[in-house]
Amino acid sequence: MSKNSFFAEVNKMFDRAALHTNHSQGLLSQIKECNSVYHMSFPLVRDNGEIEVIHAYRAEHSQHMQPTKGGIRYALSVNADEVMALAALMSYKCAIVDVPYGGAKGGICIDRRNYSQSELERITRRYTFELAKKNFIGPGVDVPAPDYGTTSAEMSWIYDTYRSITDNPLDALACVTGKPVGDGGVRGRTEATGRGVFFGIREACNIEADMHALGLNRGIEGKRVIVQGLGNVGYHTALYLEQAGAVIVGIAEYDGGIYNANGLSLEKVVNHRKETQSILDFPGSTNIQNSFLTLEMDCDILVPAALENQIHSENVSRIQAKIVAEAANGPITSAADQALIKQGVMVIPDVYLNAGGVTVSYFEWLRNLSHVRHGRISRRREAHNALKILETVEDLVDKKFDPIKLADIDSGRGFGASEAELVESGLEDTMVGAYHEIHAHASSHKVDLRTGAFISAINKIAQGYSRGGIFP
Ligand code: GLU
């Protein structure tokens, strides 16, 4: 593997944290290694009748927990090194948020904008078939999900293809997550990664001492934010930050960026993009022709939410943000990461911050395996319990509540958690708990948050190896 490989970059971050653990070299090497990589190629008959060879990959990094889990991306950057690095990040990510999976990642080396809907369907179905043939997919084996360049539509095709060839149709729905709601998906999965990124940033900004050290006030309110990438993750992160009172001052997309120190209305930018196919020329904002220069503009929080290697040795010294919140996977090279620490910037690391996606994938997988919507069995019971409490209060205070309101509660309307509410609270609880865990590791070892996060991951994976007889 070349020195500058993405996988090598992830391993450098791992090694830095491993120094703060006391596991044997052998075990650390096993945790770091990528267990299997499958590179396949197959023909696509294009709509015009021509044949094109498609290159696709799936890497399974660690089976210390099974199934393995991780998204599938459609991007021209996809190669063996990239999927190995991203699969490794998935192992660490799942460990950090206590989601019981090993890490995996897949990808197809295409720019989806160059293919018709039916071509994308043929590519996705063939890819699934190739994975199934080699036992690289299955509810207890390896479970894909959306990633850069894929959506719930691809997940539906994956499920449908898998279902048609599996011997175990009962659990087939759990072979992939990120499916559309109504087609086995769980409510809240689409926005989950961005929602999780928001919770992570909120937790970080709520610690007074940390904000003070950065010269910032506590809380989200009034913080100036630049988001790189207005895809699913970038959009939802910006949306929740804006709703919490942050000011979106800059947005970067592949064709350029826009900046307005007084703030941009996210909704208006999205509408403008719908009308013109670009965020550029948004009224009242300045165009930044070179998309990358947007990252260097003045702000408090920079959210890279696109691809890897966006902040590197060449541009790191020009980054003005005080907090870099890694919504994307691997947006900062390990050298740039070290430079940012020296510059006094707080980096909230990807392995923690974008774990909301896989957390809600886990809820979807559980729903699929249990064949019941979250909350279906308990919702009415919760309403009855609420009613009982109110009746006890009535007795205590010797007063009667409005019977119409009580009947309403008893009917379950507005009481008892819905699936969306359960998913949201499970996600919030996970992100808040994990933040304080990695923060505690960082504080006790006097290291940055990324190293704290990796220490947490390494210790948990090492425990996974020592449990369940993985070593014969
Ligand atoms: N692709 C997402 C990630 O990088 C989600 C993976 C999943 O849900 O399995 O975390």
Give the pLDDT of the chain (472 residues) as one tens digit per residue.
Answer: 344 799 999 999 999 999 999 999 999 999 999 999 999 999 999 999 999 999 999 999 999 999 999 999 999 999 999 999 999 999 999 999 999 999 999 999 999 999 999 999 999 999 999 999 999 999 999 999 999 999 999 999 999 999 999 999 999 999 999 999 999 999 999 999 999 999 999 999 999 999 999 999 999 999 999 999 999 999 999 999 999 999 999 999 999 999 999 999 999 999 999 999 999 999 999 999 999 999 999 999 999 999 899 999 999 999 999 999 999 999 999 999 999 999 999 999 999 999 999 999 999 999 999 999 998 888 888 888 888 899 999 999 999 988 888 887 777 666 778 899 999 999 999 999 999 999 999 999 999 999 999 999 999 999 888 765 455 4
- pLDDT for 471: 52
- pLDDT for 414: 65
Is 431 in contact with 71 (CB distance < 8 Å)?
Answer: no
- pLDDT for 213: 97
Distance of CA 71 from the midpoint of ligand 1 (Å) = 5
Distance CA 437, CA 377 (A): 32
Q: Is 147 in the pocket of ligand 1 (CB under 6 A)?
A: yes
Distance of CA 286 from the midpoint of ligand 1 (Å) = 34
Atom of ligand 1 nearest to the CA of 89: 4
- pLDDT for 465: 84
Residue nearest to atom 7 of ligand 1 (CA): 358
Question: Which residues are part of the catalytic machinery?
Answer: 105
DSSP state of 275: H
What is the dihedral sign for C-alpha 232, 237, 243, 247? negative
Q: Is 354 in the pocket of ligand 1 (CB under 6 A)?
A: yes
Atom of ligand 1 nearest to the CA of 354: 10
Residue nearest to atom 9 of ligand 1 (CA): 70
- pLDDT for 2: 42
Q: At 255, which helix (H) or strand (E)?
A: none
Name which of 347, 237, 254, 243 is nearest 306 in CA terms. Answer: 254
Q: Is 194 in the pocket of ligand 1 (CB under 6 A)?
A: no
Atom of ligand 1 nearest to the CA of 71: 1
- pLDDT for 472: 42
By most ligand atoms within 8 Å of CB, the mutation choice from 6, 147, 195 for ligand 1 is: 147
Distance of CA 159 from the midpoint of ligand 1 (Å) = 16
Distance of CA 60 from the midpoint of ligand 1 (Å) = 13
236-251 b/e (C-beta count within 10 Å ≥ 16 → b): bbbbbbbeeebbbbbb
Q: Is 65 in the pocket of ligand 1 (CB under 6 A)?
A: no
- pLDDT for 410: 73
Q: Is 145 in the pocket of ligand 1 (CB under 6 A)?
A: yes
Distance CA 367, CA 174 (A): 8
Distance of CA 193 from the midpoint of ligand 1 (Å) = 8
Other residues' Cβ atoms within 10 Å of the Cβ of residue 4: 12
- pLDDT for 468: 57
Distance of CA 57 from the midpoint of ligand 1 (Å) = 16
Name which of 57, 67, 151, 149 is nearest 105 in CA terms. Answer: 57
* Alpha helix segments (H runs only) across 180-265: 189-205, 208-213, 232-243
Kindly tell me the number of DSSP H helices and DSSP E strands found in the chain. 16, 13
Amino acid at position 146, single letter: P
By most ligand atoms within 8 Å of CB, the mutation choice from 91, 193, 352 for ligand 1 is: 193
Q: Is 357 in the pocket of ligand 1 (CB under 6 A)?
A: yes
Atom of ligand 1 nearest to the CA of 86: 4
